[in-house]
Amino acid sequence: MQDLDRDSVTAEALAQMADTPDPRLREIMAAATRHLHDFAREVNLQPDEWLAGIAFLTAVGQACTPFRQEFILLSDVLGLSRLVNVMHDAAGREATGTETSLLGPFFREQAPEFAAGESIAVHDTQGTEVVIFGQVTDGAGRPVADAAIDIWQTNAAGLYDLQARDATVMDMRGRFRTDAAGRYHLRTVKPVGYSIPMDGPVGRMTRLQNRHGFRPAHIHVLVAAPGYRELVTALYFADDPNIASDTVFGVSQSLVVAERLGLPDSPMPGLPAIHYDFRLSRDAAEGSGGRVGADPSRLMPAAG
Amino acid sequence: MQDLDRDSVTAEALAQMADTPDPRLREIMAAATRHLHDFAREVNLQPDEWLAGIAFLTAVGQACTPFRQEFILLSDVLGLSRLVNVMHDAAGREATGTETSLLGPFFREQAPEFAAGESIAVHDTQGTEVVIFGQVTDGAGRPVADAAIDIWQTNAAGLYDLQARDATVMDMRGRFRTDAAGRYHLRTVKPVGYSIPMDGPVGRMTRLQNRHGFRPAHIHVLVAAPGYRELVTALYFADDPNIASDTVFGVSQSLVVAERLGLPDSPMPGLPAIHYDFRLSRDAAEGSGGRVGADPSRLMPAAG
């Protein structure tokens, strides 16, 4: 038995985990424990502060439901989600590939399929109608035919379908496919920037940090085609006042767009349009393990 | 707007928190964010691993109830609780003061009062009866009269009352008071070592780490007297097979005891006895902010 002091307790904790059979779990938990202890030592964490942290994490966990993922939100506002996304991107994206962004907690599997030119704004049709068109290619500019393009976004009030309606209705989301030349076009209404949910523990934390809590207006995009790396990204609107201070750090310059009238090649010349080409990277062995986000219902513990 | 990379995302996250009005919250959140990012970079955390972590923390939060604190348990098995306790101790405990230990999640306010010599084993009386006696003094050995001594422990089956019975019954816990000479004596049954709860996410984690999950047999003690620092400690039994590998790192050599027959001064010579004197430190300004643990019901978020 050791009389553990403020340094030796870390070594002892690591020693107790040293027989973990899975080497990656051992590595991750050892690093997590070391950094957790380093954090506590650096700030000289006091018992009442530790207890406040326990109460906060408990509240974050209790706020999670099949339709709300408060821990992903916490990861997002701390910049961790962006960091994980950047590291994943560095490993598998080709230099020519479209930059990625966060999947977020509002993606849903099996969104409805639409034909080229149709609008995903089926129930909530208010707002400025815009066209998005372009081409999906590989890194060398060769067209990718029959690629699936999932898009999802808020309505013009800043709400996703899961927030605006009961969960049985899908709206403001859908899947399109590229034609033989890799081309796509679709209609939607312009999304607006929105606040992260402020009625939970993470929202309360950001208020205590004097943060505005807003994401700039954006449209999520997921492009998938056999043989190519799944592209999880988003298009951000240049005219949003918070374009430079996204509270979840999702924006990259190359993903910023602006709708314009009279764009050459627009398939619907009467409407404001965005021309955006997506460039895919070749598939590595990683499969679909690259989504920084998930359907919240998949992250709830099994009952009992 | 910045194109955030794996390093600049940390600076940007800290910049967004830089206007936090409370300087201590700002300091703690900045350090937590830096260490969290350092951890993710060190292990090159992948999206599917990040998602597994989100699901784990969600499960930990969902496992918390007014009678169970799974996040304290997580802190315990990672050695964080011990570390916070050690740092707190270093700041306020006099060199002559009794060493401290973890409060844990089973302390309850307003345990029943007992007269000297009575037994806290009221409902669960099975097991080896033992006497504990001694004196409460200040650092110079001067008696502290009328000090309150709370003790709580498992029954002989390794269960606390909150686990063995419904929450309306208090058992295996109680408060004694020292006499004019600072002396106390009490009876109980010898506790046994026990496994941390293995049916929750933290238990599952420790199984994946090949840890035994046991705490050595111990009796929790909280000594309070006006003008003195609250002493939160525990006595550990030398003959427990896990005395050197407590899964929550609570044991210190000076807190290890063994019951003996025929101890001099035992007030109940017919029973195995433990003689333990508690030495208090003078009170600093910190109040009762020094408890590394809490009644689980106090850590649940308010409804709605």
Contact B1 A87 (CB under 8 A): no
The confidence score (pLDDT) of residue B288 equals: 45
3-state secondary structure chain A: CCCCCCCHHHHHHHHHCCCCCCHHHHHHHHHHHHHHHHHHHHHCCCHHHHHHHHHHHHHHHHHCECCECHHHHHHHHCCHHHHHHHHHHHHHCCCCCCCCCCCECCCCCCCCECCCCCECCCCCCCCCEEEEEEEEECCCCCECCCCEEEEEECCCCCCCHHHHCCCCCCCCEEEEECCCCCEEEEEEECCCCEECCCCCHHHHHHHHCCCCCEECCEEEEEEECCCECCEEEEEEECCCCCCCCCCCCCCCHHHEECCECCCCCCCCCCCCEEECCEECCECCCCCCCCCCECCHHHHCCCCC
Q: How long is chain A?
A: 304
Contact B22 A208 (CB under 8 A): yes
Q: Do A28 and A128 have their domain in common?
A: no
- The closest CB to that of B43, out of A12, A31, A48, belongs to A31
Q: Do A36 and A85 have their domain in common?
A: no
Q: Which residues of B184-215 are buried (b: 16+ CB within 10 A; e: fewer)?
A: bbbbbbbbbbbebeeebbbbebbeebebebbb
Q: Do A125 and A244 have their domain in common?
A: yes
In a domain? residue B302:
no
Report chain A residues whose CB lies below 8 A from the CB of B83. Answer: 6, 9-10, 37, 40-41
Q: Do B136 and B173 have their domain in common?
A: yes
Q: Do A32 and A126 have their domain in common?
A: no
Q: Residue A57 is encoded by which pair of tokens? A: 């994490």
Report chain A residues whose CB lies below 8 A from the CB of B196. Answer: none
In a domain? residue B169:
yes
Q: Do B128 and B215 have their domain in common?
A: yes
Q: Do A102 and A177 have their domain in common?
A: yes
Over residues A170-222, the pLDDT tens digits come to 999 999 999 999 999 999 999 999 999 999 999 999 999 999 999 999 999 99
* Separation in Å, CA of B215 to nearest CA in chain A: 13
Q: Do A20 and A77 have their domain in common?
A: no
In a domain? residue A206:
yes
Q: How many domains is chain B built from?
A: 2
Contact B50 A79 (CB under 8 A): no
The confidence score (pLDDT) of residue A285 equals: 57
* Structural domain span for residue B178: 70-285
DSSP string, B121-149: -SS---S-EEEEEEEEE-TTS-B-TT-EE
Read off the pLDDT band of B192 (50, 70, 90). very high
In a domain? residue A280:
yes
In a domain? residue A298:
no
* Separation in Å, CA of A31 to nearest CA in chain B: 6
Interface confidence, given as ipTM, is: 0.92
Q: Do A117 and A247 have their domain in common?
A: yes
Contact B20 A210 (CB under 8 A): yes
Over residues A51-64, the pLDDT tens digits come to 999 999 999 999 99
Number of Cβ pairs < 8 A linking chain A and chain B: 273
Report chain B residues whose CB lies below 8 A from the CB of A1. Answer: 243-244, 251, 253, 256
- The closest CB to that of A13, out of B79, B254, B294, belongs to B79
The confidence score (pLDDT) of residue A1 equals: 59
Report chain A residues whose CB lies below 8 A from the CB of B300. Answer: 58, 62
Contact A209 B291 (CB under 8 A): no
Could you say which DSSP state residue B243 is in?
T
Contact A63 B301 (CB under 8 A): yes
Four-residue CA torsion sign, B25, B26, B31, B36: positive
Report chain A residues whose CB lies below 8 A from the CB of B78. Answer: 13, 32-33, 36
* Separation in Å, CA of B52 to nearest CA in chain A: 9
Over residues A36-85, the pLDDT tens digits come to 999 999 999 999 999 999 999 999 999 999 889 999 999 999 999 999 99
Q: Residue B235 is encoded by which pair of tokens? A: 């006595």
- Rounded to 10 deg, the angle between the B80-92 and A8-16 helix axes is 160
In a domain? residue A303:
no
In a domain? residue A294:
no
- The closest CB to that of A208, out of B1, B13, B20, belongs to B20
Q: Do B182 and B271 have their domain in common?
A: yes
Over residues A253-294, the pLDDT tens digits come to 999 999 999 998 999 999 999 999 999 999 875 544 578 888
Contact A60 B61 (CB under 8 A): yes
Q: Is the pLDDT of residue A98 over 80?
A: yes
Work out the mean pLDDT of chain B and round it to a whole number. Answer: 93
* Separation in Å, CA of B137 to nearest CA in chain A: 23
* Separation in Å, CA of A82 to nearest CA in chain B: 7
Rounded percentage of chain A residues whose pLDDT exceeds 70: 97
Could you give the 3-state DSSP secondary structure of residue B288? coil
In a domain? residue A56:
no
Q: Do B153 and B281 have their domain in common?
A: yes
The confidence score (pLDDT) of residue A288 equals: 45
Q: Do A109 and A244 have their domain in common?
A: yes
Higher pLDDT, B72 or A293: B72
Report chain A residues whose CB lies below 8 A from the CB of B25. Answer: 208-209
- The closest CB to that of A51, out of B17, B294, B301, belongs to B294
CATH number at residue B181: 2.60.130.10
Segment A124-139 mean pLDDT: 94
Which uninterrupted H or E stretch holds B234? Answer: strand B231-237
Find the closest chain A residue to B16 by CA distance: A211
